[in-house]
Structure 1
Amino acid sequence: MKKLFKVALVAVGMLFAGNFANAQTKIGHINFNKLIDMMPETKTIQTTMEAYQKTFIDQLTTMNNELTTKGNDFQKNQATMTDAVRSAKGTEIQDIQKRMQDYQNDARQKVEQKQQELTKPLIDKATTAISAVAKEKGYAYVLDSSQVSLLVSPDADDLLAAVKLKLGLK
């Protein structure tokens, strides 16, 4: 009987401890990508990035045209070329291909850096607003529902509406 009482006491204690822990930890969620897409700065960043990428695309197009022209010329006149000229032209074409590949890799890195540079203030602004709303509403954790698949989530814990209001978005 004494043992049964101790087990019951421990079970009741665990039940209260579980309810106490639940009462203190609120978890919310927000679709971070959706929030970023709603912000007006996103459109400006996209326009800027498209213009920035176009400069690299134009240069690559010019290089590709040069490669095509020299490649066609090489194939057309290959039979009449001396070995030295054929070797020089082949090396020139390989050099253009290598320059294109290097330029493409460099362009990709520069575009990624520019993207990060432009989006960092936007991400910081959104993160600050989410933190402020979470603090105001008493949330200990806020999950990014665009990265995590939430199988069950009550509507009341979605912070998107509150953060939109905080940022002044419609």
Structure 2
Amino acid sequence: MKSKILVLATILFSTISIAQTKVGTVNSDIIIGKMPQMKNVLRRIETAGKKLDSSFNIKAKEYQKKVESYKAEEKIMTDTDKQTRIAELQKMEQEMQKFRVNGTKMMQIQRDEYMRPLYKKLSEVIAEVAKANGYTQILTTNGNQFGYIDERFDITKLVLDKLGIKE
């Protein structure tokens, strides 16, 4: 009986020692922010934003002109004309609000599209560095997800070096 327990204990301890994992951490935000391609992404996002702003400003000026026209002519309008013009102004307000919402969504979609190649490259390099250094898991440190992180296992610097980015 004692020998069976001893054999089971030996198997258990040897399995535990063989199955140990090496976990590392990486701060992907720091790396993405330092990648040279990020400047191009930011420029493209800014350009797209300016185009949307320009389109919105045109709509806003048109709306403002119609409001001023309404105010100037309000006293001489019939009730039917007032209701028609107010309905037209309300419709324009709704269209402008919809334009804002859609513009925000479109900007987020474009940002995600522009960022996708950076995240893909980062993922590939993290995998290379992890494999080369014997890590079984790499966790991101973004968002304060951990209560404790041993800095000896942070591979952020190794990934930056592999990408050729200086701190």
Query: TM tier, shorter chain?
Result: 0.7 to 0.9
Confirm whether residue 74 of structure 1 aligns to residue 78 of structure 2. Answer: no
**How far does residue 21 in structure 1 lie from its aligned partner after superposition?**
2.0
State the one-letter code of the partner of 1:152. Answer: Y
Partners of 2:19 and 2:12 lie apart in 1 by: 10
State the one-letter code of the partner of 1:89. Answer: R
Q: TM-score, normalising length from structure 2?
A: 0.86
Q: Give the structure 1 partner of residue 28 of structure 2.
A: 32
Of 15, 23, 40, the residue aligned with 1:17 is: 15
Of 153, 156, 162, the residue aligned with 1:160 is: 156
State the one-letter code of the partner of 1:158. Answer: D
Partners of 2:14 and 2:148 lie apart in 1 by: 24
**How far does residue 137 in structure 1 lie from its aligned partner after superposition?**
0.8
**How far does residue 38 in structure 1 lie from its aligned partner after superposition?**
0.8
Confirm whether residue 62 of structure 1 aligns to residue 91 of structure 2. Answer: no
**How far does residue 53 in structure 1 lie from its aligned partner after superposition?**
0.4
Q: TM-score, normalising length from structure 1?
A: 0.85
Q: Percent identity?
A: 24
Q: Give the structure 2 partner of residue 119 of structure 1.
A: 115
Of 45, 68, 83, the residue aligned with 1:87 is: 83
3-state SS of paired residue (1:142):
strand
Range with bigger deviation, 90-99 or 47-56: 90-99
State the one-letter code of the partner of 2:86. Answer: G
State the one-letter code of the partner of 2:141. Answer: S
Partners of 2:28 and 2:17 lie apart in 1 by: 30
Partners of 2:66 and 2:126 lie apart in 1 by: 56
The count of aligned residue pairs is 166
Unmatched 5+ stretches in structure 1: none
Partners of 1:45 and 1:27 lie apart in 2 by: 31
Partners of 1:54 and 1:10 lie apart in 2 by: 69
3-state SS of paired residue (1:28):
strand
Partners of 2:146 and 2:46 lie apart in 1 by: 33
**How far does residue 123 in structure 1 lie from its aligned partner after superposition?**
1.0
CA offsets 1:104-125 (integer angstroms, 9 cap, x no match): 2332232222212211111111
CA offsets 1:5-42 (integer angstroms, 9 cap, x no match): 766665555444333322xx111110111110010111
